[in-house]
Amino acid sequence: MRFVLEKRPAPSRLMLGLTPILAVIATMLAGGVMFWALGANPVEAIRTIFVDPLFDPTFASYSRPQLLVKAAPLILIAIGLSLGFRAGIWNIGAEGQYIIGAVVGAGVGLAFYPTESRLVFPAMVLAGAFGGWVWAMIPALLKTRLGTNEILVSLMLVYVAENILASVASGLLKNPEGRGFPGSRNFARDYPAASNLELLPGTGMHWGVIAAFIAVIAAYVLMTRHKMGFAIRLTGEAPRAARFAGVNPTRLVVFSLGMAGALAGMAGLFEVSGPAGQISIDFGSGYGFTAIIVAFLGRLHPIGILLAGLLMALTYIGGELAQLMLGMPAAAIQLFQGMLLFFLLAMDVFANYRIRLKTREAA
Amino acid sequence: MTDALLTLDGLTKAYPGVVANDAVSFAIQPGEVHALLGENGAGKSTLVKTIYGLVKPDAGKMFLHGAPFMPANPRAARAAGVAMVFQHFSLFDALTVAENVALGMDDPPGQGQLGARIREVSEAYGLPLDPDRIVGELSAGERQRVEIVRCLLQNPRLLIMDEPTSVLTPQEVDILFKTLRKLAAEGTSILYISHKLEEIRSLCEHATVLRLGQVVATCDPREKTARDLAEMMVGSALHVPEREGGETGDMLLEVKRLSLPAPGGFGTPLRDVSLSVLSGEILGIGGVAGNGQDELLAALSGERPAPSGSILLRQRDISRLRPNARRALGLLAAPEERLGHAAAPEMSLTENALLTGDVRERLSSRGFIRWGKAREFAARVIEAFDVRTPGPDTAAGALSGGNLQKFVIGREILQKPDVFVVNQPTWGVDASAAAAIRQALLDLAQTGAGVVVISQDLDELMEIADHFTALNEGRLAPIRPARGLTIEEIGLMMGGAHDMDVADEAAIAEVLA
């Protein structure tokens, strides 16, 4: 007797919906084993990560607002990435687009310092989106003009962006009144007109959160009602049919990479002008990479990405809490997040195959 | 039963969602050419794969010379004397004929000895083949000979041939049939799989007809008409298209000296292709697969832009226009491959209606899709072309080949094209759907549209085309009226028999003069 995988005639819709949940459960189990091996009580560790940030009387007042603060950039970036991913265009460099968006947007804001005008912040948002868009246009143009691989180019540009960040943090954008320390002026403290403040105290709600919600709705409408969304889906499912239908592959690459870049750039700007407060060498926090997990965990569907973004934010906050309370190493938390993507991809097998127990046939 | 070569008894094989073979029983006599007849999906391939040891049946038995026979793999089948020539060749382009033959044998002799034997066998059976030539330089017909000779070297008692003529010109078909008759006369049994009825009538002594996995009839095909055989395959009466001599009018589509390099290294370049289509005319383009059919369709549909001035629609240069701009001007197309090219299999029929119907049916406004209108358009196609499906929300991939083809063709015809270009309109489609599609093409021409039908089915082209030409290595033969063409002339237009390369050119010149 042995188990065999048997291909399903069509992917199971039930399993497609169920696998994210199964993946979360499997991650909790495997993560629990890992925490146990690290010397912690697995149940307590899982509770610290998933439950305490929301319900613990001591931490919840701090953690709950953090949920939106962390989820907003993840959702914003993942929505942008999902457009390309649905069409088979793999932008792996959202982290770089996020950083450049922050640098350009912050640069525009700092250029106006100390002008107090209502127009400064909107100008920064546009500049942030523009910065991310430009950074994404590099792989887009190289792909459409020269046929380069967008995965490699966008990924390598992350490291270029990190070096630009390090350079401007200690050079061009350095705070002239910062006593020589690297890092720009702090928007929240020094420049209220250019800062992304909490809109409702105690909720974590800031402009980036609003932008993320708008992005979710806009992406939903785009994918279900608009020709561009149809072109994206068609290209992902049947590239030859897309060409026959008249979809212009060049325009599709430019559009989806551009949107991803602009949204990632905006996310960077909202972060630098709000939660982070300033351009600093360590501004890049890995949101751009984590958003890839969020996009897939959310099945590349806008509503799914919204939920996945919140879940992933929870693991960030809960992970910090676990570091603090249980002395877990930071790497363990990253491993935990990585497991989530691993299990999700592994579970996908069951959407396309079913397991059958097979008795040996008589030869 | 005991003197039969191979007896099948109750073979059953089920796949998830479909029973491919349902209690199939029949016998093949020694020295018999036995036809296995059936539509695509009737279970022919599964059955021969079972005999060749590639598929294990769920139930049933086989007997070879009265002894139980259940090969575990093709090697065991070959050892028992069963050989098979596949529809798709398994040859290495970079190796010589002799090397390829050796690779397919279980215990090949040395190269020198093998070369001599290849020559000997190929000449004995009228299949000239040079063992030292590189396979990459051979025509499709010659490649098939390599496969056949490889089988013959192992002295099979049963030779299975899966759709062997789909890649051959009529002249090459003649040569093949002579070989097969000679083999049968020497006592080798041949199991011949095809859905080309005339071929089976001229070659086979016995036919087993499969429908939906079951044996529905056995007969002597020589005593039946092609129509009888088709009705056995389909299980219903056939509607033969009616042809009224249509009026032709203005020049609609003109292609002038169109040359295009092969896309991406594979495929066939188009060389100096010129054609013209008048209003009310059906132009049939024949040719063996892989001679530029896909490339010509892509150039006409706009999937690949063509050099300026090479494609004119009503005297207007459309060479550089993209597919939707051409659709707006009235040029519509339907490619050969239904799944993944003409239609997106995982999308609904509504979404597939939108795929080409957006421009002419106004299924969107300001970039936003009018799903209600798209759904209604899909429903109209389903209704008008008798597409058997639960409704417009069904995924295209869930339809049978014939029904999806009716949808794909109907989707274009309902948009009232001025010129309609279609590649293989009835490929892999059951006979009744094929007849409906041909009638629709004739009706379309009657309304004054120009129609270009690219097809490998010569009977189909002779039935509906006013003018005929053929693609051969990306070149188009001079266009001639279809009426009065002989099969000989058509064969020469398609490239003749490839072992007569030198004689070819002279013969074409003579016939076409």
Of B323, B354, B358, the CB nearest to A244: B323
Residues in A touching B351 (Cβ below 8 Å): 230, 234
In DSSP terms, which residues pair with B160 in a beta bridge?
Answer: B84, B191
Say yes or no: A177 contacts chain B, CB-CB below 8 A.
no
Say yes or no: B265 contacts chain A, CB-CB below 8 A.
no
Domain-located, residue A68: yes
CB contact under 8 A, B355 and A241: yes
Contact A54, A314 (CB under 8 A): yes
Residues in B touching A240 (Cβ below 8 Å): 337, 340-341
Q: Are residues B366 and B510 in the same domain?
A: no
Residue A250 sits in a domain whose CATH number is 1.10.3470
Identify the pLDDT of residue B353: 97
Q: Which of A213, A258, A208, A249 is nearest to A83 (CA)?
A: A258
Domain-located, residue A210: yes
pLDDT reading at B153 higher than 80: yes
Distance from the A24 Cα atom to the nearest Cα atom in chain B, whole angstroms:
28
Of A8, A242, A245, the CB nearest to B16: A8
Residues in B touching A86 (Cβ below 8 Å): none
Identify the pLDDT of residue B497: 55
Say yes or no: B337 contacts chain A, CB-CB below 8 A.
yes
Q: Could you write out the DSSP letters of every residue in A217-283?
A: HHHHHHHHHBHHHHHHHHHHH-HHHHHHHT--HHHHHHHHHHHHHHHHHHHHHHHHHTTS-S--TT-
Q: Which of A61, A48, A63 is nearest to A336 (CA)?
A: A48
Mean of the pLDDT values across residues B166-187?
85
Burial label for B513, CB within 10 Å (0-12, 13-18, 19+), is exposed
Q: Are residues B418 and B492 in the same domain?
A: no
Handedness of CA B372, B373, B378, B380 (dihedral sign): positive
Identify the pLDDT of residue B110: 80
Of A225, A243, A245, the CB nearest to B369: A225
Strand order in the sheet with B158-162: B82-85, B158-162, B189-194, B33-37, B206-211, B214-219
Domain-located, residue A19: no
CB contact under 8 A, A233 and B347: yes
Per-residue model confidence as pLDDT tens digits over A316-339: 888 888 888 888 888 888 888 888
Residue after which a domain boundary falls, among B234, B269, B302: B234
Residues in B touching A248 (Cβ below 8 Å): 322
3-state SS, residue B501: helix
Distance from the A134 Cα atom to the nearest Cα atom in chain B, whole angstroms:
25
3-state SS, residue B449: coil
Identify the pLDDT of residue B39: 74
CB contact under 8 A, A248 and B368: no
* Residue reference for tokens 């785009």: A222
Q: Are residues B307 and B169 in the same domain?
A: no
- CB contact set of B394 (below 8 Å; sequence gap of 6+): B348, B349
Q: Could you write out the DSSP letters of every residue in B241-286?
A: PP-------SEEEEEEEEEEPPGGGSS--EEEEEEEEETT-EEEEE
Residues in B touching A361 (Cβ below 8 Å): 56
Of A226, A238, A242, the CB nearest to B345: A238
Domain-located, residue B90: yes
Q: Are residues B76 and B27 in the same domain?
A: yes
Contact B114, B108 (CB under 8 A): yes
Say yes or no: A230 contacts chain B, CB-CB below 8 A.
yes
Q: Are residues B476 and B490 in the same domain?
A: no
Identify the pLDDT of residue B1: 45
Mean of the pLDDT values across residues A19-25?
87
pLDDT band at B220 (very low <50, low <70, confident <90, very high): very high
Say yes or no: A360 contacts chain B, CB-CB below 8 A.
no
Identify the pLDDT of residue A316: 87
Q: Are residues B393 and B332 in the same domain?
A: yes
Percentage of chain B lying above the pLDDT 90 cut: 43
pLDDT reading at A363 higher than 50: no
Domain-located, residue B245: no
* Residue reference for tokens 């089988």: B151
Domain-located, residue A14: no
Q: Are residues B190 and B326 in the same domain?
A: no
CB contact under 8 A, B341 and A244: yes
Per-residue model confidence as pLDDT tens digits over B170-179: 888 888 898 8
Tally A–B CB contacts below 8 A: 73
Nearest C-alpha in A relative to B15? A9
Identify the pLDDT of residue B363: 95
Distance from the B115 Cα atom to the nearest Cα atom in chain A, whole angstroms:
38
Mean of the pLDDT values across residues B63-74?
89
Per-residue model confidence as pLDDT tens digits over A251-307: 999 999 999 999 999 999 999 998 888 999 888 888 999 999 899 988 899 999 999
In DSSP terms, which residues pair with B13 in a beta bridge?
Answer: B21
Nearest C-alpha in A relative to B395? A10
Domain-located, residue A282: yes
pLDDT reading at B512 higher than 60: no
Residue B379 sits in a domain whose CATH number is 3.40.50.300
Per-residue model confidence as pLDDT tens digits over B91-139: 888 888 888 888 877 777 887 888 888 888 888 888 888 888 888 777 7
Per-residue model confidence as pLDDT tens digits over B330-364: 999 999 989 899 999 999 999 999 999 999 999 99
Distance from the B149 Cα atom to the nearest Cα atom in chain A, whole angstroms:
32
CB contact under 8 A, B340 and A227: no
pLDDT reading at B499 higher than 80: no
Average pLDDT, chain A: 89
Nearest C-alpha in B relative to A246? B323
Domain total of chain B: 3
Identify the pLDDT of residue B243: 59
pLDDT reading at B278 higher than 90: yes
Domain-located, residue B239: no
What Cα–Cα distance (Å) separates residue A320 from each residue in A33, A328, A335? 19, 9, 13
Mean of the pLDDT values across residues B237-263?
76
Contact A165, A158 (CB under 8 A): no
Distance from the B263 Cα atom to the nearest Cα atom in chain A, whole angstroms:
13
Contact B222, B248 (CB under 8 A): no
pLDDT reading at B513 higher than 70: no
Average pLDDT, chain B: 86
Q: Are residues B77 and B149 in the same domain?
A: yes
pLDDT reading at A22 higher than 70: yes
Q: Are residues B218 and B288 in the same domain?
A: no
Percentage of chain A lying above the pLDDT 90 cut: 54
Identify the pLDDT of residue B247: 64
Say yes or no: A361 contacts chain B, CB-CB below 8 A.
yes
Q: Are residues B390 and B501 in the same domain?
A: no
Mean of the pLDDT values across residues B492-506?
56
Identify the pLDDT of residue B502: 41
For residue A129, the enclosing domain spans: 39-328
Identify the pLDDT of residue B503: 42
Least confident interval from A173-177, B245-249, B303-307: B245-249
Identify the pLDDT of residue B504: 47
Domain-located, residue B240: no
- Report whether the peptide linkage leading into residue B417 is cis, meaning its omega lies within 30 degrees of zero: no
Domain total of chain A: 1
Helix boundaries (H) for chain A: 13-37, 42-50, 52-55, 60-86, 94-112, 120-146, 150-169, 187-190, 207-225, 227-237, 239-245, 249-273, 287-297, 302-326, 330-347, 349-352
**Comparing A54 with A348, which gets the higher pLDDT?**
A54
User: How would you label B398-421 residue by residue, b for 16+ Cβ within 10 Å and e otherwise?
Assistant: bbbbbbbbbbbbbbbbbbebbbbb
Identify the pLDDT of residue B112: 81
Residues in A touching B340 (Cβ below 8 Å): 238, 240-241
Identify the pLDDT of residue A267: 97
Distance from the A163 Cα atom to the nearest Cα atom in chain B, whole angstroms:
38
Identify the pLDDT of residue B496: 60
The H or E element that residue B159 is part of is strand B158-162
Domain-located, residue B244: no
Say yes or no: B358 contacts chain A, CB-CB below 8 A.
yes
Q: Return phi, psi of residue B415, to 5°.
A: -85, 5
Of A225, A233, A242, the CB nearest to B368: A225
Domain-located, residue A279: yes
Per-residue model confidence as pLDDT tens digits over A212-257: 999 999 999 999 999 999 999 999 999 999 999 999 999 999 999 9
Residues in B touching A228 (Cβ below 8 Å): 367
Domain-located, residue A343: no
pLDDT reading at A16 higher than 80: no
Identify the pLDDT of residue A162: 95
**Comparing B28 with B458, which gets the higher pLDDT?**
B28
Residues in B touching A351 (Cβ below 8 Å): none
Q: Are residues B126 and B275 in the same domain?
A: no
**Comparing B196 with B362, which gets the higher pLDDT?**
B362
pLDDT reading at A52 higher than 70: yes
Residues in A touching B395 (Cβ below 8 Å): 10
For residue B326, the enclosing domain spans: 251-482
| Chain A interface mutation, best of B347, B407, B408, B411, highest count of A Cβ atoms under 10 Å | B347
Identify the pLDDT of residue B246: 59
Structure tokens at B433: 């759907």
Domain-located, residue A22: no
Mean of the pLDDT values across residues A128-136?
97
Long-range contacts of B132-135 (CB under 8 A, 24+ apart): B132/B96, B132/B97, B132/B98, B133/B96, B133/B97, B134/B93, B134/B94, B134/B95, B134/B96, B135/B91, B135/B92, B135/B93, B135/B94, B135/B95, B135/B96, B135/B97, B135/B100
Q: Are residues B343 and B456 in the same domain?
A: yes
pLDDT reading at B317 higher than 80: yes
Distance from the B170 Cα atom to the nearest Cα atom in chain A, whole angstroms:
32
Identify the pLDDT of residue A179: 81
* Residue reference for tokens 């899966």: B162
